[in-house]
Structure 1
């Protein structure tokens, strides 16, 4: 029987490392092969392949109706992203079966992923999964099946204006205990941008004013919120990804965070485009107030997959510095000036010192890198080509220059 002669039956995907699933992007081609090893010649029927991808959610909730009666309500939904079928080995048209000789047989396959797919995900009440399944039909025997999962990562580029915009907020809270007013606590926080990638450090700029008569403790944390939707109902699960604790702030004092670092650990990217599953992130700055509830300030985050381009995070700040320190660039004429007199070309020692290019220390960090060379190119423009025709004819009352001198 084929069952006794079948040594190996598996699916191999290109790009997959040993022990880990292959990763693909939406729109990419998935290339692989089905491997079949036989110890002896055997009769085989059809070999069919199917690729599937779907998001599924499911959870149950207990409902009470009266004092003693209770029932359970189930919620579930599914969204299919991928469905591909292929026949790798078809039976002959005459109704006979195919005889495969002993040894290794490989059946290649390829299929294209759709342009829009959700990132693979495993959650408490749902998942987004992709897999390839092969079925080997055999005469007078059960169907042999093999399954191979793969990962899809939807690219999220944080180099977009919406994700590069700074995020800021402020909140205040009146601390009360037993109807006594103990003062007010306020917090304001700001981060450079909305989009980050795992491994990056978020610098937190914050001010915490403690106007109460007790010490308070500031904290910051990255929160992941998983939202599952089915039949018009929602189920959420929140978890702390990472957190930091600041120093205690005495009564009547103020604490300032000058870019307090909070590193993002390895986490999955945000899922924002799936109808039934969403994964969102936020930065929460909170203040623990003794005797009352916490003061919470939440700033939205998006965890992406494409990291920040070089100098991307400094685009707005550097541009503002150019407008302040490099205003003289706007005075450069579009047309080159006429050749100067010989006496003007040979400067005095004082003029030589004034015409020397500025050192980088004087101009600051703005002129570091290739931009410094870009400015120098304008400062030392080559002289215009010689011509018998003056490109800048003198106006009335000015002595014309002798072009033959």
Structure 2
């Protein structure tokens, strides 16, 4: 029997997304093949496959304790989401006869199938950050007698889907602030800022429509601006590490003294970014839209509107109601039409899948966001009525009485 060599050891996944990347969600079946190519007869003890999914955090801090002394503190933490092990070749053998039970691979190409289900739980989305990561991979090890094992490792992508078609993520976000640049007895007036966006949830590739009003009664020239930030927070050993990165921004026109400016749906596009990570105990990825007035030589006046970047985009039925604010000018009052009945809102599973065709599916390095769709059920909307079911209470003024002496 000629002595052969292992020429190729590779892992191939059966399911790939539109970008030829393996992408899955919790509960999905992950299947594939381990490909082995040998140049001659090769005796194999075992071919093992291990699947892992781990969220890991690590950073180092140095502190000085004296003139020439310092110590380094390592902060590490790890959460395991997946651990699967399977043997594709091999079985229990008698230790007294180690040559028994060996599998001989003849020259040529061999394929061995593997499969496993991801846990039915909230998995952390694949992520790469400065102080931590969430990674999923499959590793194959080919063991031969008297030789070092041959190993190969291949990562796959996991998305914990976030459906933005929920009441919480469809609710508008708004705020207002006012600021005076100097003391109350000075002649300079205040700067006022009001901002509003139509909802809280978005997906990469969408544009945030910003409605904003700025009034400059101060003596300085100011500039309204908006910026989208990503905040990465890492936790280890009871301590946190936070990093904020600018994702996208836009600039308004210069606003002189006594002038005002309005944004009627000014658009800020969301580039391909990682979706929000909100359920991982050691890594959080959050987003915030900051609408602010840049004040030269002073502190900026800013409003922070939290956002959630999801994976399942806005459905046609919900985009109708969420676009009302973008169609009307701010402060303009119109009589709203009655909402559709619940039967009109009900969407079949096949139509829900078709709604996602053509959506922007890239994230980070171009991975698919919408490979699989989790089930979403609508709650019936409240009954429509012209009468406010929660009217403001009428304040009853009582006559003042003199205090007893």
Whether TM-score is above 0.5 comes out as: yes
Task: Return the offset for 1:182.
Answer: 3.8
SS of 2:337's equivalent? helix
Alignment of 1:6-405 (within 5 A): 6-16=6-16, 21-66=21-66, 69-91=69-91, 93=93, 95=98, 96=100, 97-115=102-120, 116-176=122-182, 182-315=188-321, 321-323=336-338
Q: Which runs of 5+ in 1 are unaligned?
A: 325-405
Deviation at 1:102, TM superposition (A): 1.1
Q: What is the DSSP-based 3-state SS (H/G/I as helix, E as strand, rest coil) of the residue aligned with 1:314?
A: helix
Aligned partner of residue 159 in structure 1, secondary structure: coil
User: CA 1:49/1:181 → structure 2, altered by over 3 Å: closer, same or farther?
Assistant: farther
Matched length = 323
State the 1:18 CA deviation. Answer: 11
Structure 2's unaligned 5+ residue stretches are 325-333, 340-405
CA-to-aligned-CA distance 1:189-210 (integer Å, 9 cap, x gap)? 0000000011111110011111
Distance, in Å, in 1 between the alignment partners of 2:245 and 2:16 is 30
Distance change (3 Å), C-alpha of 1:90 and 1:320: farther
Residue range with higher mean Cα deviation, 214-223 or 71-80: 71-80
Q: Could you tell me which residue of structure 2 aligns to residue 398 of structure 1?
A: none
Structure 1: distance between partners of 2:21 and 2:135:
12
TM-score, scaled to structure 1: 0.75
- List per-residue Cα deviations over 1:247-287 (Å, max 9, x = no partner): 01111111111111111111110000000000000100111
Q: Could you tell me whether the CA contact under 8 Å between 1:184 and 1:211 is conserved in 2?
A: yes
For normalisation by structure 2, the TM-score amounts to 0.75
Deviation at 1:68, TM superposition (A): 5.0
Q: Is the 8 A contact 2:4 2:42 kept in 1?
A: no
How has the CA–CA distance of structure 1 residues 148 and 250 changed in structure 2, closer, same or farther, with 3 Å as cutoff? same
Q: Which entry has the higher C-alpha Rg, 1 or 2?
A: 1
1:304 and 1:322 map into 2 onto residues whose CA distance is 29
Would you say the 8 A contact 2:201–2:310 is kept in 1?
A: yes
Structure (1 or 2) with the greater helix fraction: 1
Instruction: Determine the structure 2 residue equivalent to 1:5.
Output: 5
- How far apart in 2 are the matches of 1:321 and 1:141? 76
Aligned in 2, Cα 1:19/1:154: closer, same or farther, shift over 3 Å? closer
**Kept in 2: contact 1:176–1:291 (CA 8 A):** no
Q: Distance in 2 between matches of 1:154 and 1:239?
A: 22
Aligned-partner Cα distance in 2 for 1:68–1:208: 54
Once residues 2 and 44 of structure 1 are traced to their aligned partners in structure 2, the CA distance between those partners, rounded to angstroms, is 14
Q: Tell me how far 1:7 sits from its aligned partner.
A: 1.5
